[in-house]
Amino acid sequence: MIKNSIYNCNVIQLSKIHNRAGNITIVEGNLNVPFPIKRIYYLYDIPSNEFRGGHAHKVLHQLIVAVGGSFDILLDDGLNKKIIRLNRPDYGLLVLPGIWRELCEFSSGSVCLVLASEVYDADDYIRDYETFIDYTK
């Protein structure tokens, strides 16, 4: 297992093509996203006081984008923690395997888009924080 750090999880700028009729951002797996995209899902209608996430993945890579509104993402590698605020649809946070994540502080009407490197696999999740800490050692 390669140990990833929160410092390897970076916000990346996505393409933004401006037009008088509006903007477009294009996302392509293995090009401006550093992995093949095998699953896409989005979170919405989340009350501002709720949390999402609360897990880590063993293999899965994710790019998380605030396509509407804003929210915070707490990243934790077992030693260090940092919070990233996402609030622009042309920026995404790359989250690597072995990183615990919690999403919170959702603004009204926010939409969280997640691009994932793998299809859903329940065995890839680490859902208990103490198990995650053991996993990182």
Q: For residue 101, which of 120, 85, 83, 114 has the smallest C-alpha distance?
A: 83
* 68's tokens: 């509407």
Is 61 among the residues known to form the active site?
Answer: no
Tell me which of 18, 55, 57, 61 is the catalytic residue.
55
* 107's tokens: 């603004």
8 CB-near residues (< 8 Å, 6+ apart): 96
Rounded to a whole number, what is the distance in angstroms from the first to the last CA of the chain? 11
Catalytic sites, residue numbers: 55
